[in-house]
Amino acid sequence: MSGVQQFLSHFFITGPFEIGGDVSIGLVSIAILFILTRYKLWGWLWREWLTSVDHKKIGIMYLLAALLMLFRGGVDALMIRTQLAIPGNSFLQAEHYDQIFTTHGTIMILFMAMPFIFAMMNIVVPLQIGARDVAFPYLNAISFWLFFFGAMLLNISFVIGGSPDAGWVNYPPLAELRFSPGPGDNFYLLSIMISGIGSVATGINFLVTILKMRAPGMTLMRMPMFSWAILATCIDIIFAFPALTIALGLEFMDRMFGAHFFTVSGGGNPMMYVNLFWMWGHPEVYIVILPAFGIFSEIVPTFARKKLFGYTAMVTSLLLIAIISYFVWLHHFFTMGAGADVNTFFAIASMFVAIPTGVKVFNWLFTMYRGRIRTTIPMLWFLAFVPNFAIGGATGVMLAAAPADYQYHNSYFLVAHFHQVLIGGVVYGMLAGMYYWWPKMFGILLEEKWAKWGYWFFNIGFYVCFMPQYPLGLMGMTRRMYTYPAGMGWTTLNQISTVGAFIMGLGFIFIVWGIVTSILHPVKDTTGDPWDARTLEWSLPSPAPHYNFARIPQIEGRDAWWAMKQKGLTKLDDSTPIVPIHMPKSSGKPFIMGVLFFVAGFGFVFNWFILAALGMVGVVILLFSRSFEYDTDYYVPVDEVKHTEALYGRS
Amino acid sequence: MAVDAHHAGHAVDHSKPLELSTEEGELKILGFWFFLAQDMILFACLFATYIIMHNHTAGGPTSMQLFDVPGFVAETLILLTSSFTYGLATFEMRRNRLKGMITWMVITALLGMSFVGLEVNEFIHYATTGAMISRSGFLSAFFTLVGTHGAHVTLGIFWMISIMVQLYKKGLNPVTARKAFIVGLYWHFLDIVWVFIFSVVYLPGVMK
Amino acid sequence: MKRLKSPRKLGRWLLLGAASALLLTGCSPQQFSVLNPAGPVASSELQLIILSGVLVLVVVAFVIVLLAFIVGRYREKPNNNAPYTPEWSESRSLEIIWWAIPIVIVVVLGIFTGIKTFSLTRPPEATSNPMIVQVQSLDWKWLFQYPGQKIATLNYLEIPTGQPIEFVLTSNAPMNSFWIPQLGGMEMTMPGMQMRLWLQADKTGVYEGRGANFTGTGFAHMTFNVKAVPMATFTQWVSQVQSSKPALTNAEYQTLVKPGLAGVKEYSSYPANLFMKVVMKDNGGQKPMGLNGGM
């Protein structure tokens, strides 16, 4: 009996925060179950969402998940800042603090930034290039559910078994069994490996989509810049993620089967992990920032009412950044004893990234120059991005100077830098994209009042939170300290930073409230082109019909929709006859596959190999059963297409 | 369905090989090439790890003491032959001869099985002499690299069998041809990886 | 060292600016340890910090001013007479400018970075007689051995001023990072490897040192004081430790290796070959890595 008790007390973590977590998870789950049952929504949920292979719906699910994870990671951040608000604080113990900053980093990079960019590319790319779906819609659904269940696996670690606590980079030997014996690190490894499979599949999927499924006439050099950014991103994903898979896979072998890749005994070499991790880790930074660049390259011309300045240079710089990103990984550990020659090479390579990035900034500025700038919400986020990213990029160049980095490394100077580029770059970019394409996703406009409050709070909060962290770094404060003594001179700056974090938290609440009020009091987007924009997705009604284009348009130049409008068109050419449209069928298998991966992952986490094997066998059976499935698609009849188009007032 | 040639956007282009004759076939084959590219990087990372770990024997057995020359030479010959026989299956597919195609696929699968059998045997033999994955960094890297390849081959065999069943049931059409072609790409890729294993792991492992 | 004067002045000026900005927050300039070098290594790194800071500041200021100007002038408002050229999207000469200027900046900074990176692998001042300190990071304490003096200290370091010191670093715990901001930048301590870091104190004083790479629950407490004293005082201290302090026994070392916190201690001797045994035990019987390339 006591054995059972002991097991349960290890399985379910008991502490004030965890019980709070348990209770809130329980309450939210009950509320969701109640609503679904009360309003008889189970069938709707299953048919319209869980089994959907429609890129637009998958994109919306990614978006929802990203916002939820932004909330979870944000709560982590507020707990971190609360703990650091006063010296010697006892709000959190070291064990807790370590878990919280680890999940904060992991969630924000892998389960917030990644799904956010996947949301944007899913929603926009097929519409923008004139395609009816992605190349592999079924695989696309699998990618989403692997991401989703991977994220769930990491999130339940908070209440079951204990969260990982070795930092989001999970360096061995700290993350090895000897120093981290619990299941926490297994959660980290399994959740990222599962969602990582989905990420690679997405990379392949969109690369093929962009290369092969563009509308006739849309050559690569006529492609909208966001699609170019996604093309570069996908190349980075395909060539970077395998290194992460191997780094985590080998650590998994160490922890599960007693291998000696990164252990400090038996001939292991922890430095190998560090190399493999950052061979993925640095391109990963560009995987999340390039889509943000793409989004800004769409927003700026639209709201400056002017052609994008220097299209060719924009494409060149995108590809240069994507390529240089593979030659800079060592700057994450200049202080790990590489020779002066190696450090110098990576230092200079890292500085070179600033050149194409700087070119992009100037091209955006000169897109606005002699334009007519409308300060809509998406444009406001761009205007906030520029100074923020300029400062973050500048401190990045400072960090790239290796000998100077010896003084910044692992200090709050570094923390401030990467938050500035990741929030000021990626989060601002994704929020801008969300506001910009919101009418296209849902057919309603977002209100502006709360959105503006959110914008100002988030922005001011950002500077209040992170600017004090640069001087803190120069005062010798290192990251991942759960406490610090009084008398270091760090107290006031930390307090300011904490206040800033809460201002950002308020900003987030305003942003969400703005979304909620817009949904409660919808203002319909009747035109399909509320911003008077330039690219093909705005030629469609909002939200786009499930087959996207009743007729695939013929493209004659850049900014295809703008060109058509210049010719006086108000909708796509509808003179050609409609033919039956070939579409993929919905399928529950991707969802079930996610569940099975979750089961297998959960089994591995607790070393319950029978459960893990059952999950994996299930996955394999599902793969083969899909292979034998031939009835996977159907045709939308002409009458139905005509009927749908008529509902939108088109023919 | 894909064989339905009546609708625009999903037509069969008879001037191309069967597996590439539909848009779906083209997309999936291109996608599979990208998959192979990422798999290649995956193996490259494993190879790099192995090269670093080769001498990290921690007092345990070295590759010199462990590797059995006739064993890995036999594995190599069998796998190379199987790649060739799959090539013959593709050749038969091009000439639209289903029976010959399936025959060569059966032979390929059998060769694959004997390769996996030999490899399992090799691993068991090492393990009984105490050379387990947990013995040293070198053995961890060896078993993981060669084992990952072996797992790929095993999956490939099951996959090939399922495609044979589909070919038998549905005959040759753009869909089955595409599936058979993709398994072939996969199989040849594994063959190439093995060539690297042979020349990075086994050959230097037994040379002074 | 005369050439260094002007960047130092600039550094003080910047410091003054930062100090006045932070006056209200109650921070004193002395607490900016990175900006208050007490030795040649930290000074040399500060020069690069200032150089890179000034270079990027120019660019950032320019971008922000340009942004403000453009947004101010070209906003869509009634009666805006500013030129509007919706189709203008190419200018070879403009693009050449903003490709070329960053390249120049990067090349300048890159050259200085390269020079400094190489120079920091050498002793800060020519010396025929460098002092060696062997550093081990443990869970969660720092053990320092003085092979020349045959003494050891725990969580405390005493060094002579004006003397280049070669720190040789390893870890008998997860990897950490050895950082004394006022003396110079950090270097990681890695199990199974030995790394090298040259530092030197020119001024007497007590400097804060700390671990900079996360190693678990006790990490935040891995701090130590570095006391820099004149050579004569140092010699005196050494002989006092040699004569009056206990020896570090193998048994005591084993208790130190166990996770936990500990106070300051001094030892008159330590087990023979302790450092190399720690390095060798974790590297799978290979030749020790690190020193050959170590910075």
- A591-645 per-position pLDDT tens digit: 999 999 999 999 999 999 999 999 999 999 999 999 999 988 999 999 999 999 9
Strand order, beta sheet including C205-211: C156-160, C223-229, C205-211, C176-180, C184-189
**Number of separate helices (H) and strands (E) present in chain A:** 23, 2
Say how many C-beta atoms besides its own lie within 10 A of residue C69's C-beta: 12
Helices marked H in chain C — which ranges? 5-22, 40-74, 92-119, 231-244, 250-257, 274-281
Nearest Cα neighbor of A484 from B116, C87, C222 is: C222
For chain C, give percent helix, strand, coil, nearest 5: 45, 20, 35
What gap in Å lies between CA A172 and CA A274, rounded to an integer? Answer: 8
Q: Please list every residue in chain B whose beta carbon sits closer than 8 Å to the beta carbon of residue A272.
A: 49, 52
Q: What is the pLDDT along chain B (208 residues), one digit of tens a residue?
A: 333 333 444 578 888 888 888 888 999 999 999 999 999 999 999 999 999 999 898 888 998 899 989 999 999 999 999 999 999 999 999 999 999 999 999 999 999 999 999 999 999 999 999 899 999 999 999 999 999 999 999 999 999 999 999 999 999 999 999 999 999 999 999 999 999 999 999 999 888 6
A167-182: average pLDDT:
92
User: How many Å lie between the alpha carbon of B134 and the closest alpha carbon of chain C?
Assistant: 13
Residue type, position A129, single letter: I
From the list A200, A267, A279, which residue is nearest B137 (CB)?
A267
pLDDT at C9 over 90: no
Whole-number pLDDT of residue B1? 33
Q: Please list every residue in chain C whose beta carbon sits closer than 8 Å to the beta carbon of residue B57.
A: 284-285
C67 and A365 within 8 Å at the Cβ level: the answer is yes
A340 and C118 within 8 Å at the Cβ level: the answer is yes
Q: Are the C-beta atoms of B19 and B25 separated by less than 8 Å?
A: yes
C285 and A383 within 8 Å at the Cβ level: the answer is no
Pick among 2.160.10.10, 1.10.1200.10, 2.60.40.420, 3.20.20.210: CATH of C131-281:
2.60.40.420
What gap in Å lies between CA B116 and CA B142, rounded to an integer? Answer: 16
pTM of the model: 0.94
User: How many Å lie between the alpha carbon of B116 and the closest alpha carbon of chain A?
Assistant: 19
Segments of chain C assigned to CATH 2.60.40.420:
131-281
Contacts of C235-239 spanning 24+ positions with Cβ under 8 A: C235/C160, C237/C158, C238/C146, C238/C149, C238/C151
Whole-number pLDDT of residue C127? 78
% of residues, chain C, pLDDT over 70: 86
- Interface contact A638, partner C, CB < 8 A: no
Task: Please tell me whether the interface predicted TM-score (ipTM) of this complex is above 0.85.
Answer: yes
The pLDDT tens digits of the residues spanning B24-80 come to 899 999 999 999 999 999 999 999 999 999 989 888 899 889 998 999 999 999 999
Determine the residue of chain B that is closest to A249 in CA distance: B144
- Interface contact A371, partner B, CB < 8 A: no
**A400: confidence class by pLDDT, cuts 50, 70, 90:** very high
* B–C interface: beta-carbon pairs under 8 A: 11
Q: Map residue C291 onto helix, strand or coil.
A: coil
What gap in Å lies between CA B195 and CA B201, rounded to an integer? Answer: 10
| Domains of chain B listed by start with CATH number | 85-208 (1.20.120.80)
Residue type, position B115, single letter: F
What gap in Å lies between CA C176 and CA A336, rounded to an integer? Answer: 10
From the list C22, C59, C208, which residue is nearest A394 (CB)?
C59
Element (DSSP H or E) covering residue A235: helix A225-257
Identify the CATH number of the domain defined by range A41-587+632-647.
1.20.210.10
The pLDDT tens digits of the residues spanning C15-48 come to 565 555 655 555 677 789 999 999 999 999 999 9
Element (DSSP H or E) covering residue A490: none
The radius of gyration of chain C from alpha carbons, rounded to an integer in Å, stands at 25
The pLDDT tens digits of the residues spanning A6-61 come to 666 667 766 667 777 777 777 888 888 888 888 888 888 999 999 999 999 999 99
Give the domain ranges of chain A: 1-40, 41-587+632-647
- Interface contact A258, partner B, CB < 8 A: yes
Least confident window among A52-56, A262-266, A559-563: A262-266
Q: Map residue C101 onto helix, strand or coil.
A: helix
592-651 in chain A: CB under 8 A from chain B? 620, 624, 627-628, 630-631, 633, 635
What gap in Å lies between CA B48 and CA B29, rounded to an integer? Answer: 28
C26 and A492 within 8 Å at the Cβ level: the answer is yes
